[in-house]
Every structure is written in structure tokens, then in C-alpha cells.
Amino acid sequence: MEHIVIIGNGIAGVTAARHIRKLSDKKITIISAEANHFFSRTALMYVYMGHMRWRDIEPYEHWFWEKNRLELKKAYVETVDTNNKTLYFKGGGILTYDKLIIASGSVTNTFGWEGLDLNGVQGLVTKQDLEKIEKNAPNNKECPRAVIVGGGLIGVEMAEMLRTRDIEVTMLVREDGFWSNVLPKQDAEMISRHIVSHGVDLRHNSELDKILDDGSGNVRSVLTKDGEEIPCSVVGITTGVKPQISFLQHSKIETDKGILVNRKLETNIEDVYAIGDCAQQREPIGNRPPVEAVWYTGRMMGEALAQTICGKPFEYNPGNWFNSAKFFDIEYQAYGWVFSESKRKDYEAQFHWKCASDLRCVTISYNKNSNEFLGINTFGIRMKHEVFDKWLNEKRSVDYVIENLKQANFDPEFYRKYEKVIQSKFFNQPVNA
Amino acid sequence: MSTVQRNMSLTGEPPKTINTQQKLASAIGLIGLAVLFLALFNINFPNKTLWLTASLIAIGGGTVWFSIAAYGNKHEGIKNDGVYFKSLTSKGFWAWVLGITLTLYYVVLYWFPQYLGLVQDGENKGLVALFDPLSKFLNGGPASQWFVYGTLYTVAILAFGIKFILKYRHNKYEKLRTYSVMFFQLGFAFLIPELMQRLNSDSFSLPYYDLKNIWPLNYYNFEQYRVDQFISAGDIGLALLIFGIASIFIITPILTYKYGKRWYCSWVCGCGGLAETAGDPFRHLSDKRQIAWKVERWVIHSVLVFVVLMTTAVVHSYLGDDSSKYWLTKVVFLISVAVILTAVFAGTFIFKREELQKDARYGAIGYFVIIISLIGFHYFSGKTLFLFEAETLRQSYGFLIGAVFSGVIGVGFYPIFGSRVWCRFGCPMAAILGFQQRLFSRFRITTNGGQCISCGNCSTYCEMGIDVRAYAQKGENIVRSSCVGCGICSAVCPRGVLKLENGPLEKRIDSNEILLGNDVDLMKYVNN
């Protein structure tokens, strides 16, 4: 029986395993050093916030794995010997495979600042990071203030977590708006204001210089590039993530930022595949970055690879881009591409509407030459994935999309509708060619 | 981290702690309760009207003030911070204290009302006496233990309803639903029946009737004394009796077809009303394991069979044999019951067979055979329908289901098993509505394409123990008998994935065009 070994029990690895099991009888082993069972990484924050227990963020009950003959092994893979198709574990032990799927995910990305090794400096990516933050910031007496470096999705999650325990939070964001390397300026600014309204000391145009210690190996404060010293006991490093591939250093598997794969998610070595956050496409797909560290893309790669492994070769061919997040109380959904100032294409124009409450806004991007609808960012209004996916495939015009916006609404029943005000703003806007 | 905190202190760390205003508000509420408690121990309050008013205002006002202090100065949004750190809401010390207190209260209420001060012939004493002025004001007579219970129940739904509205003030569905249960509790369950009693005289008497309390939840509605009262009360009584029958056979099916069982369970019902308001802090305690779902299906449908047998036996016992006196005789009645059950059974098996799980089929066939053979058995031989005396069945049902299950376990164990134990495992009304919701209703919870991140908030905060996430992460709609449509899964979802909707029956359950964001051709393989 063919033995499929999967390194990593995150969404990519587990999705691949589930689909391989659906399609075949192969022996499947999932290896993880992080956690006994698959959990939702995006839900780590809710455990610290007291919304859920650890077991609540595990999507499958424990009997699921045995019932579906998915063998779980808790171990850390130290080296991969592709010649002999063998994995070597830290602390001894080996495992041989017929096909290897690497879905080892990400680690926190840092920029080599001084003081990264001090107690109290941490990211928020793994189960161990969650255990660390519980230890480093149990309450506002042990941790009166934390500094978060970087304004992205993990940064705002960490800020929300710490604020639930009344811990003062300072966020250092390099740009002049929250997540403004991804969000258009007006969207970014609204989210910035919302973050501030939750009592976060959000510093734009501010960068970390170094982290200072208290003489006994703990964080005392951070020093910004402006020379300001901010006392704190926890430093959250949330300047993005990078593929976790250090264990492949001495292997023959070709890597760059991540593990290099073709569209079939094959590496340079036969029978070795890589999916999820750790994979890097040799040729970027459309507007997508070569490394996509997103829950949804991990899941999609897992689905695609399972077909290939089970004899129906399939390319990873993601549909229209979509994503979502929640910034404190404001939900965000994106369908198609709406680019930030720095990444905007020449042909891209944007229409922006914002609610007087400052809690809702919509930014729609379109081709200024052809009027083709390119994408939407929606904040505080839920919209339907299916409808936008269809409109994007049909290459609808921006006028069509705005006229029919009501069809896309996914807010709960009885909610106030905003389509009419959005339409009137769009159709009354001055034409700027 | 993953361990449940068992901290007894109210002055814990944020988010376990409560603020100064909340402490003061709690103190006021507790003082209100203390007045009732002192009355329970026969402290004779001089001016009962004044003391009762003060006590109820303190309880209600304390709760409302507590809620304003908890949510008023915070942003609109989800307020579940620290739910699993607080002793009261994570099965800690205070949860057990509250659970045991509530349980004792129900035990006394059902079986030892004399300890509450109820005096059958003569002046009430203690707690019941404290409520006499209010009872006399509303219905003209002295209070009973049930009047005390009804009043406190209504105060709880109103006060905690306001708390719930403040907590979910960003969510209009939740607000409207809560206004609705508050209205039905205050008007239909409390004021109208109390005032109706004023109409009663020596020559005219209506039974105490909460119009929204439909058989089989109201399992005693067709007992002899009530039916006699209805009939002897002329046109009004007859209208009420017809309304009672129409509620279950006409009104309920139409509304459930259009909106799902939520129109009743989370918009109208008193049990649901208490669970959604006072029980809301405990909603996450429901058991989400698959085994719990299996147990649930057997238990709730067994209760339904029990109530059908019991009611049939009871009605049968007081009907006559002579068709010249009245058309509805024992025989006509039994044949009608058998015809209705056969029609439901046959209809389901002919049209919806493929939608039934294996255990549902076995269960349905088993129960159907039992009921029909018992009816047949009687028809050809015996005197006692269903092997037992109707009175024995009635009393056992009243004790086991009416009192122990719905009261003692259903409410007493809120802080341990969650707020909807009765609704999920026991309520025969929920079983009927759920059966229809699963098979003949426009209601479903839709999922938003591939946006689910499997975080688990929806499953955790589902009071009915439905593993919502299991469907959402596959992009499937959720069509479950037990769903009461409270809408909290949709509210707590951080990615806007879930929506309660009424829509066409086609593709309601198994939409094969599931979009998870991947290559369309690939998804065809994945879904097959």
C-alpha cells in the first residue's frame, strides 16, 4: 500500500489528507511537532480572549482521525533524505514514505532587530505562541503595556487579544495607515481610526529600532527609529510570516523564499510536493504573490494535490481571489483585486463609499478604460462570495455590479441596507476620464 | 490556557472581573432577591404591596443596570470576552451554586409548594403571601405557587431580555426576536390569562390558557377538565378549543413551512424565551459531540411518542361510546388518530425517504408499528388503551416530562448543560416543528462560499449543540431539525459566512454547486 506522508497538520496538510482518504485507500501519516490534532490557526486569538477553549478550535473530534485511518505522529522532522525517501526526526526515529507532502506552514518573519531573543518577544503563529502570550501577558499587572511591531492581520489580532485584558497596546506601523500596503488609503484610514477607538496607541510612520533588556533577559522597552523609548513587557512581532523551510536546508529540495513548486505543486524531486504557506510558485499565478500565506489558498492547494496524488493530475488553479478578516468589530471581505496605492495598476480606478458611522465602507475597483469590474473590498457589510465570483467570471461592468449590488448582500435579516446610498453616490459622481 | 478557571473571586483579572457599577447593580438585584428569601422564611412584611414592588424593581432594575454597566460604554459588537474564564459561565463554583439553587427551587415549586407558603384553604403565608396583592390586582384572587413562578419568570425574561438587547444591539434580528419573546411572555403567558380569570364566575369559567402554549408542549390542553370548561363556556370557550386544535394542525405547519421552527422556538415560546434571555450566558455549554446528537434524536422523539400515546389515552378515556349522543366517540377518535399518523408516516416515506438517516427510518418504523398496533390491540380487545390506565400515563408524563425534564433539568441545569437542554432533548413541540423544518420548510442557514476559516465560534455558541462549523467549512447549507433559528451562529461568525434565510425548497440541502474558491473543474471532482 502506498504510504503518503504529510509534514504539517494545518489546513493545507489536513485538507490534502482528507481528500486523499476520500479518493483512495492509501496509508496516510500526518506529522506535526506543534499540536496533537488539527486546529484552526486563525482562531488562536479566541482562546486567549476566553471565547473558546482549545478543543473548540479543533474542527474534528478526536475519533475522526482513527475512523478515517489518518495516522498522526507527533515529531519534528529534522532532515529529509529524498534519495532514500526517509525522514529523520529530532531525538531519533525515522519514517519512510512513498510520496511526501510538505505542508509545514509559516514562521514569524523578523528583520534581525537587536533584542529578538529576550523573554517577552514573540509572534502569534503557532500553538506555542499562544502558550507564550498567556504566560507573557496573563493580565495587566504582569504586563501593563505591550508593543506590537507591524500593522497587518496578525498585529491587529494581537492588539484585540491584549485589549480584552485591559493591557495598554502601542502599535508601530511603518506606513501611514493600517495594512496600507494591501488596503487602499481610505479603507486603511477607517480601520486605523477604529483601532484607535479601541484604546490602541497606534503610531503611523513609526518603526522599531531595537528591543532593550532589563538586565535579566527580559524585555524592558523598545526604541523606535525616532529615538523614543517605550517601556513594555511584551513585544509582538507581527511583520508578516515566511515559509518554514529551515529543516530542508541540507536536502535536495529546491527552495527560494519557500519550497519551489510548479503548477502541479511538485517540487524538483519526484514524489515530493509542497502546499500551503511553505510553497512558492515558480511562476506567480495572475496577480497572486508567489507565496500565498492564506487559509483559503492552503485549503485549495490541498484539494488540488489530493487529486494529483490519487491519479488525476490537476494543476493548482485557484479561482478569483477572495479573502476576509475581522478588525476588532469590523468585518472585511474582499473579492477580486482592489490594490493599495503602491501596487495599483495603471488601468485601475476605484470608487469609494463610506458610511457616516465610520464603521462601514466599500471600495470597488474597475478598469478605467473598459469599465470592467475588478474587485471589491467590503467593510461592515457582508457580501456573497458566489455572486461576485460569477460577476468576475462574466467580466461584468462596474455599472452592472453597482446596479445589482443588492443581489450580493449577505447581511442578516432586518439589517439596514446600503445599496441605494452606494448607488446614488456612484451614479452622481463626476466623470473623471 | 485550555483549562477551565475555577476562580471564586468576583474581583479577578480582566476580563474576569466586573466593574464597580456592576457590583453595585448586583448588590441591588441581590437585595431584591433577599426580600423574597426573607418572605420564604415567613418574615411577615407589613406592607406587602410596597415590599413586593420594591423587590421586583430591585431585581429587574439591578439586572438592567448591570447590563448597561457591562455593555453601555463598549463598542457595538460581539461580547464574549472571558466567557470561558468566568466561574459562572464555565461550570465553575458559582455555576454549581446557581444550578443547585435553581434545581432546589424547582423541586420545591413542583412538589412542596407549602414551603413557599401556599395554603390550600385559608390565608397564604410566606413567599406566596407576598405575591397576594399583585395576584388580587390582576386576577382578583390570592396567589398560588404558579403565580409566583409566572411573575418571576416574566420578570426574568424582561430584565434579561433588556440585557440581551444591549449585548446584541448591533444586530437587528436579535433585537426584534427578543422584543417578540418579551411581548409574548408578558402579554400572552402572563397578563392575558391572569386577566381572563377575572371573567370567571360561578356560571362561567375558562381554564387558565396561555394561547401561545400549543399542544404538545402544553400537554394538558385536551384533558377532560379543560375540555369540559371550554365547552361549558359557550362560544368563547369553543373558539379557544378550536384555536388550540388549529394551532397545531393549521397555524403551526403554515408558519413552520414559511419561516422554520424559529417563528415559535425563538420568537414566541416561553421556554425558548427564558433560554434566550436569562439562559444566554450559558448557551456555549451545550454538548457539541456527535454522540450527543445521536442521543438527542432518540430521546426527543421518544418524548413525542410518549405524549401522543398519553394524549390519545386521556382523550379516549373521557369520550363516550354512543354516537347518537355525540359524533366523536372513542372509536371515531382512535380511527382518526390512526389515520393522521398513517398519513404523516406514509407521506414522509413516499416523498422524503432519501432524506432520512438510517436510524431515523428504523426509529420511525418502530414507533409507527408500536402506536398503530397498540391502537389496534385496543380496538379488538382491551379496555385499557396502551396497556396502562390513561390516568397513570398522564401522571407519569406530567411528573417525568412536564416537571422533571422541562423544569428541574431544563432550567435548573442551565449553568451546567447549557440553556436549551429541554428544547433540544425533551420538547415534543420542538420535535414536531423540527421534523417539519427538516423536511418541509423554506428555512435554512446558508454559507457564504469558501469564506469559512473553521474557527468554531458558530459551533461553540450554538445553544442546540449543532456542529455548525462541520457544514460551513464544506460550504454546505445547514438544515437541521433542532435549529431554533436564534441567529447567534451568524452573529458570532467573524468572516460573515452564515445567514438565516427562507428560500425555495429546491437545492435547499444538497447544493452540488458548492463554491470553495478553487478551480471549477476540480470542484466537480471534489464534490462527487
Q: What is the pLDDT of residues B22-54, one digit of tens each?
A: 999 999 999 999 999 888 887 778 888 899 999
Return the DSSP state at A268. Answer: S
Q: Where are the domains of chain B?
A: 1-199, 440-527
Residue B525 has pLDDT above 80, yes or no: no
Return the DSSP state at B322. Answer: -
Give the pLDDT band (50/70/90) at residue A433: very low
Nearest-CA distance from A79 to chain B in Å?
31
Interface touch B518/A389, C-beta < 8 Å: no
Residue B165: per-residue pLDDT: 97
pTM: 0.93
What percent of chain B shows pLDDT beyond 70? 93
Interface touch B487/A53, C-beta < 8 Å: no
Mean pLDDT score of chain B: 87
Among left, alpha and beta (phi > 0; psi -120 to 50; other), residue B38 is alpha
Give the pLDDT band (50/70/90) at residue B463: very high
**Residues on chain A touching B176 (C-beta within 8 angstroms):** 414
Burial degree of B486 (CB within 10 A; 0-12, 13-18, 19+): buried
Sheet holding A322-327, edge to edge: A322-327, A330-336, A373-379, A361-367, A348-354
Q: What is the CATH number of domain B440-527?
A: 3.30.70.20
Residues 146-175 of A with CB under 8 A from B: 164-166
Please state, in angstroms and rounded to a whole number, the distance separating the CA atoms of residues A362 and A384: 14
Sorted by sequence, the CB contacts under 8 Å of residue A148 that are 6+ apart come out as A155, A158, A159, A169, A170, A171, A172, A235, A236, A238
Residues 483-522 of B with CB under 8 A from A: 487, 490-491, 494-496, 499-501, 515-520, 522
* Nearest-by-Cβ selection for B517 from A48, A319, A328: A319
CA angle B173, A322, A8 (to 5 degrees): 105
Mean pLDDT score of chain A: 95
Nearest to B432 by CA among B273, B248, B241: B248
Tell me the DSSP string of B68-131.
Answer: HHHHTTS-SS---TTTTTSTTTTT-HHHHHHHHHHHHHHHHHHH-GGGGT--SSS---HHHHHT
Mean per-residue pLDDT for B184-210? 85
**Residues on chain B touching A130 (C-beta within 8 angstroms):** 1
**Residues on chain A touching B516 (C-beta within 8 angstroms):** 296, 299-300, 303
Number of Cβ within 10 Å of residue A312's Cβ equals: 11
Q: Does A304 touch chain B (CB under 8 A)?
A: yes
Please state, in angstroms and rounded to a whole number, the distance separating the CA atoms of residues A205 and A110: 18
* pLDDT one-digit tens code per residue, B162-184: 999 999 999 999 999 999 999 99
Please state, in angstroms and rounded to a whole number, the distance separating the CA atoms of residues A196 and A174: 16
Mean per-residue pLDDT for B87-108? 93
Q: A241-280 burial, b for 16+ CB within 10 Å, e for fewer?
A: bbbbbebbeebebebeebbbbeeebbbebebbbbbbbbbb
* pLDDT one-digit tens code per residue, A57-116: 999 999 999 999 999 999 999 999 999 999 999 999 999 999 999 999 999 999 999 999
Please state, in angstroms and rounded to a whole number, the distance separating the CA atoms of residues A363 and A338: 8
**Residues on chain B touching A61 (C-beta within 8 angstroms):** 289-290
Sorted by sequence, the CB contacts under 8 Å of residue B142 that are 6+ apart come out as B123, B124, B128, B132, B135, B136
Please state, in angstroms and rounded to a whole number, the distance separating the CA atoms of residues A363 and A353: 6
**Residues on chain A touching B456 (C-beta within 8 angstroms):** 40, 43, 46, 52, 56-59
* pLDDT one-digit tens code per residue, A191-220: 999 999 999 999 999 999 999 999 999 999
Mean per-residue pLDDT for A282-310? 94
* Cell numbers representing residue A220 in the block: 524592558
What percent of chain B shows pLDDT beyond 90? 50
| ipTM confidence | 0.94
Residue B528 has pLDDT above 70, yes or no: no
* Nearest-by-Cβ selection for B500 from A42, A300, A413: A413
- Single-letter code of the amino acid located at B348: T
Interface touch A415/B457, C-beta < 8 Å: no
Interface touch A412/B172, C-beta < 8 Å: yes
Interface touch A299/B519, C-beta < 8 Å: no
Please state, in angstroms and rounded to a whole number, the distance separating the CA atoms of residues B355 and B468: 19
Mean per-residue pLDDT for A134-140? 94
Mean per-residue pLDDT for B329-344? 86
Residue B211 has pLDDT above 90, yes or no: no
B447 strand-pairing partners: B498
Residue B3: per-residue pLDDT: 44
Q: Does A46 touch chain B (CB under 8 A)?
A: yes
Please state, in angstroms and rounded to a whole number, the distance separating the CA atoms of residues B229 and B150: 22
CA angle A360, B280, A162 (to 5 degrees): 55
Contact B260, B441 (CB under 8 A): yes
Helix (H) or strand (E) run with residue B237 in it: helix B234-246
Which is more confidently placed, B370 or A110? A110
Interface touch B14/A46, C-beta < 8 Å: no
Residue B383: per-residue pLDDT: 58
Residue A431 has pLDDT above 90, yes or no: no
* Cell numbers representing residue B278 in the block: 436569562
Interface touch B499/A383, C-beta < 8 Å: no
List of domains in chain A = 3-107+242-309 (3.50.50.60), 121-239 (3.50.50.60), 322-428 (3.30.390.30)
Residue B394: per-residue pLDDT: 84
Interface touch A317/B83, C-beta < 8 Å: no
